[in-house]
A = this chain, B = another copy of it.
Amino acid sequence: MREPTSSLQGEIRAFVLEKIVGGEWAPGARVPSETELVARFGTSRMTVHHALKALTAEGYLRRVKGLGTFVAPPRAHVLHARLTDVADEITERGGRHRTEVLDHDVRCASSTEAALFQLPPGERLLHARLLHFENDTPLQIEDRLIDPARVPGVEDLDPAAESYFAFLMGKVPYPAGRAVVRAVMPPMETRFLLRMGPEEPALEVERVTRAPDGAVLTVARLTYPGTRYVLSGEIAPPIGRGPDPVGDDE
């Protein structure tokens, strides 16, 4: 992470960050107060304040009104793994992507499906099952349910032409949600479709996508052959999001 020291804020930021990641200031330790840093760097308090506030938002510091600034205790690391469109992923590494539609219908929600979507049972749900190929080798089975009432126009979409991922991204650019990653032994049909070996496990990513208001838009189960796909990402300390990053414990 390169640190621009071109600005005064950047200088203060680099100074504090270096002490933290270098271990000189241990987690929980007191950081010099704003006025002390003002004296050290000869800047105005606002400049110091904004440098420290930025580091707080990034999870390195913890500030308590009336008390002072402290090095945040890192209790966990976070894996940041990109969940991209499988079509993008394939074309990005120079492959050829093709979609085969296995199932595509509108059904009435079963009781479990209705509970998942927090809808009354019997509500209409769009269901699609797609097989994604990379250079004519199957790479992913996408099993997806969508609430068509919340995603207008999705019923007219041709999944072979435009992916649901891209379509939903266009409709709801900033969704929330959860995902679960597991290792499974898939059923015979899946093994056959993905041309998997007799002992080969599958990596399964199941994700629930919600609109900003909390309503479930879509539930997707993505199945990959274990020998042909891995999930990878960067590791970093947790990042604060929004103006109220603390207030969880203690």
B residues in contact with A201, CB < 8 Å? 183-185, 201-202, 226
A204 to B235, CA, bound (A): 16
Select which of B22, B173, B178 is within 8 A of A235 by beta carbon: B178
- Asked whether, in the complex, the Cβ of A235 is within 8 Å of the Cβ of B207, the reply is yes
A54 to B184, CA, bound (A): 41
Of the candidate stretches A103-111, A118-126, A133-141, A237-245, the one touching chain B is A237-245
- Chain A interface: which size bin? 35 or more
Q: Is A79 an interface residue (CB 8 A)?
A: yes
Whole-angstrom distance from the CB of A177 to the nearest CB of chain B? 4
Q: Is A84 an interface residue (CB 8 A)?
A: yes
Q: Which residue of B lies closest to A235 (CB)?
A: B177
- Asked whether, in the complex, the Cβ of B2 is within 8 Å of the Cβ of A230, the reply is no
A80 to B239, CA, bound (A): 10
Q: Which A-B residue pairs are the 6 nearest by beta carbons?
A: A201-B201, A183-B183, A183-B226, A183-B203, A21-B212, A181-B231
